Structure formats: structure tokens, C-alpha cells
Amino acid sequence: MCHARMLQALLLVGVLAAACGGENYVKGPSAKPPAVPSLVQAIVNGAFIVEPRTFKPFKIVVTPEMANARLEGTFSATGARNDIEVTLLTEAQFANWENSRTFEATFASGRVTTGNIAVALPATPGTYFVVVDGRWCFKSSN
């Protein structure tokens, strides 16, 4: 039996934008490649509750301007059995997951107390979901 559990999560999408001119710079002893601007966007930053038999999806959108997008972070569960499942899904995978259909996750933690995620996202634009899942957990009578 599981009770509501608190999840502490810090998930960030790190994006390195393509530099103007790419490899077009003068090479020489003192030449340096142009600086590549980076962007870090918090997806989740802090604690939240996942009730038994529920899940929380967090949407990530990769735009055409983003290059080398990554999802990185840590998560941990407290309360009840101290376990949770964290999954990264494409929009199509999420639809199949939500409807109990066959899917192959981009990332799946399995049931863990704490974990890390470090996944390179595809260069093609798209929508992804980080799903924090407690659906398998039955509510206690307490």
C-alpha cells in the first residue's frame, strides 16, 4: 500500500543554440571559435506531491532554434514506500502510455527512490513529456 509521496525534483533542459556562422571562423594560434550561447530552462524545481494512482506530466517543447538540447536532473521520492517512476516520452509515446498501449520510452527510471536523468533530445523539433508516475500505487486505508 502506498500513501501520497513527496517528490523532490530538479529537471533542467539545457540547450546550446547554434552559433552564427558555425565553423566559419579564422583558424590560427590565437583564434577561438565563436561563443555558443546556452540556455537552461527549469522544467521542475522543487517538491510536489504525487497522489496514489495518479501521475504528473511536465511538457517540454524543442523548437527549431534549439541545437544539442538535453534533459538533465535529479529526482527523489519520500513517503510511503519511497519509490516513484520517472519516464521521458515523445508526444506519440505519451499518448500510447496514457492509453495503456505499447510504447518504447526515451528514458524510464523504473521504480526507484532516487535517480538521475541525462538524455540528449533529438535535434528535430517536437514535444516531450517528463512523467512522474504513481499510478501503480494503491491508496491505503489509513
Average pLDDT for runs of 10 along the chain of length 142: 50 41 41 59 82 89 87 84 88 94 93 90 90 75 28
pTM of the model: 0.73
The burial of 52, by beta-carbon neighbours within 10 Å (0-12 exposed, 13-18 middle, 19 or more buried), is given as: middle
What is the pLDDT at residue 135? 80
**Fold classification of 5-18+36-133 (topology level):** Jelly Rolls (2.60.120)
DSSP state of 127: E
